[in-house]
Amino acid sequence: MNLNSLTIDAARSAVQDRKVTATTLAEEFYTEIQKDDPRIGAYLILSKDRALEQAGRMDQLVSRGEKLPPLGGVPIGIKDVLTTRGVRTTAGSKILGNYIPPCDCTAVSRLEAAGAVFLGKTNCDEFAMGSSNENSAWHPVRNPRDPSRVPGGSSGGSAAAVAADMAVVALGSDTGGSIRQPASFCGVVGLMPTYGRVSRYGLVAFASSLDHIGPITKTVKDAAIVLRTIAGHDSMDSTSADLPVPDYVAELEKPVQGLKIGVAKEYLGEGLDREVRYAVEAAIQKLESLGCKIVEISLPHTKYAIPTYYIVATAEASSNLARFDGVRYGYRARDARTLSEMYRRTRDEGFGAEVKRRIMLGTYALSAGYYDAYYLKAQKVRTLIARDFEEAFSKVDAIVTPTCPTAAFKLGEKAENPLAMYLADIYTVTADLAGIPGISIPCGQTRENLPIGLQILGRHFDEATVLRVAHAYEQAVAPSA
């Protein structure tokens, strides 16, 4: 079977129509992982026993003549910041190197209830802190399109697994662009839902007011199918929204003619690579040819987004990561003589350099005498950024931007310059700060055959329009059969 062509529908139909068993399909993906992943490093942990058990259940349904659930037999990868019952969850960190959770993340349990086959845990930047997947405590991930380059981060393992045909779909998390940026770099689709649309229960927290869970897929339709499965209220997460979940797949076929698409001048200015600009402008013209009306808008507080994000996110990280102290679970330093020494050595030995940097930045921003000057001011600017989007969405139905200012950069290229690394998220952090949904879809490639991503942003809880615009563009540029 050609794994490259497998979408959710194709995989499910192959199992339902008895062209292949779910067990055989899972085995084929494990063969692909064994062959290619030593070169790429997308997976940290494989869960073959659990996968084959679930695949066997799907095969039994087929043998009884029953209809498979929506993701019946579909092989998936799960980012290693999402807890999985009985399967090690490290968040890419040594401090959780031997942690085995007692329960599944809500998003994972909903996918399994829909028949998905869970192949394993995908690599990520430690505690989802990074834009290159070089910050994993275990090993970096390489971009399947060019192994000398990064796959993006922090969900680089999930994006690489999908791009390299080592999963049909994968779950990622997005705090400042960590689904959309690796999707852009690897040439796949990455969807970040509205904050509150998908339960965060079971997500190892980075910054609780910014964290989202969402899918990385090969097609927009697959993203719609996964979102329809994992979205919805969860009593285990007080921030999950108690709102109806639309049929995102049915919404895809609605026409886009007449939709107003905003183009913000702030996203097409200094620092944008020429080839990325050309591809994004061509995509905007394609949307116009489909009947969309292009409207120039302004998001004036965009220039403050990176400093705002790196104050809010690091402050919340400082608070969230205080729980990793060696007392209750996770790594504990040996032979410490006092409790204070045990805390200090545990965190020093367990956390990597980038995590330590962000904890120190966040602790400083929250400290007495600096709280008002930094954290409180950042929250006020965050409100201004959100208001920019509210004003824009009073005039347009969606906003189109580049996903990233450049295509994938070389491994190690930005490792010694944290600011340059942080600026890779300049077009994605605004949506996290505002809590709105966004998607990255492929819109071309550079002369070096590196993928370029187009970002589409929408109103709160209007993923349906975001997906509809993305699907219309995807179908318009798809090669004819």
Which residue numbers are catalytic?
Answer: 79, 154, 178
Report how far residue 61's alpha carbon sits from residue 51's, in angstroms, rounded to the nearest whole number: 16
Q: Cα 419 vs. chain centroid, distance in angstroms?
A: 21
CA dihedral defined by 466, 71, 169, 287, rounded to 10 degrees?
Answer: -30
Question: What residues contact residue 5 under an 8 Å CB cut-off, 6+ apart?
Answer: none
309, 425 contact by CB (below 8 A): yes
